[in-house]
């Protein structure tokens, strides 16, 4: 068997082979869990059914369990596992991110550092132009009325590519004018180009793309699958981020397939196996023509 072959193909072949040689009965666990050891040492789910059969022969709940079990030392201590026929990973499943209204979107083309440097340049040009024009007035004996307001208006109008009725009369002020005109042209060309690209192809922000992102945010709660080994694995890892995933979770859910609607509606995020996530997204696309969930690996 190769890793590229789907898991359910192997299960279907196994059922056909078994049904052709003997009769069998499929039994679901009463609690619907894969199985984990509780505080009292009792195993739940399918692992509990297998464990009780191997411990008390009078019960004989099941002969074996079939499913995508995560093999852990704790589970191996109470049951025997066959060679894996399929390997799967776990990831974070959450509502599909969408385009959100952002009133500060016009500031996004440049970073905060660029805007601060631009503001500094505006202030420096205003001061420089005012001093140069004032000095030229003292040298050539002419008076500029309302110089600070005229200079400030000219700097802002030039930056925004608007026409201005006021210009300095002498060469010193005109040299500053040429310098600021060139700088404003470069700035506004870059700004308008980036803003146009952002409006043409809106960028969707991915709020959660790792366990660190999950525990760092507070907008979307998360839950873990009940009866799985994931909580114990995360707690025993010794990693503060993984431990926080368990200690700060908002609860549990029966299984990923059952919880797919709650996840797609944004009630909470979940840590699930990738096979179930892909099946849920395929189901959404088939019946809704829209994938409502997102898988963050």
Residue with tokens 């193909």: 9
Architecture in CATH of 1-87: 3-Layer(aba) Sandwich (3.40)
Per-domain residue ranges of the chain: 1-87, 91-98+205-296, 105-200
Contact 290, 264 (CB under 8 A): no
Distance CA 297, CA 284 (A): 19
State the CATH class of domain 105-200. Answer: mainly alpha
Cα dihedral sign, 60-66-67-73: positive
151 Cβ contact partners less than 8 Å away, ≥ 6 residues apart: 126, 129, 130, 133
Per residue of the chain (297 residues), give pLDDT as tens.
333 445 556 566 666 666 666 677 778 888 878 888 888 888 888 888 888 755 444 455 788 887 778 788 888 888 888 877 777 788 888 888 777 777 788 888 899 999 999 999 999 999 999 999 899 888 888 877 888 888 899 999 999 888 888 888 888 888 999 999 999 999 999 999 998 888 887 777 778 888 898 999 888 899 998 888 888 888 888 889 999 999 999 988 888 888 888 888 889 999 888 888 888 888 878 877 766 666 665
Domain 1-87 and domain 91-98+205-296, same fold? Reply is yes
Architecture in CATH of 91-98+205-296: 3-Layer(aba) Sandwich (3.40)
């Amino acid at each position: 068997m190769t890793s590229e072959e789907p898991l359910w193909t192997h299960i279907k072949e196994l059922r056909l082979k078994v049904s052709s040689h003997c009769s069998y009965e499929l039994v679901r666990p009463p609690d619907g869990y894969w199985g984990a050891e509780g505080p009292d040492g009792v195993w739940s789910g399918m692992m509990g059914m297998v464990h009780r059969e191997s411990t008390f022969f009078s019960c004989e709940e099941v002969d074996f369990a079939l499913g995508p079990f995560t093999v852990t030392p704790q589970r191996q201590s109470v049951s025997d596992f066959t060679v894996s026929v399929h390997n799967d990973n776990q990831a974070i499943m959450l509502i599909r991110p969408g385009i959100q209204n952002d009133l500060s979107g016009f500031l996004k083309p440049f970073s905060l550092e660029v805007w601060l440097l631009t503001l500094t340049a505006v202030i420096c040009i205003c001061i420089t132009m005012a001093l140069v024009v004032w000095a030229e007035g003292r040298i050539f004996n002419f008076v500029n009325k309302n110089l600070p307001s005229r200079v400030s208006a000219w700097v802002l109008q030039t930056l925004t590519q608007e026409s201005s009725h006021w210009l300095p009369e002498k060469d010193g002020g005109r040299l500053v004018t040429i310098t600021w005109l060139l700088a404003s042209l470069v700035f506004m060309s870059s700004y308008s180009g980036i803003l146009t690209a952002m409006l043409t192809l809106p960028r969707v922000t991915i709020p959660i793309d790792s366990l660190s992102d999950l525990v760092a945010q507070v907008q979307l709660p998360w839950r873990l699958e009940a009866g799985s080994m994931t909580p114990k694995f995360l707690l025993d890892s010794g990693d503060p981020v993984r431990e926080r995933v368990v200690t700060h979770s908002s609860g549990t859910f029966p299984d990923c397939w059952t919880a797919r609607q709650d996840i797609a509606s944004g009630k909470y995020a979940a840590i699930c196996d990738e096979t179930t996530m892909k099946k849920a997204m395929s189901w959404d696309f088939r019946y809704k023509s829209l994938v409502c969930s997102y898988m963050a690996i």
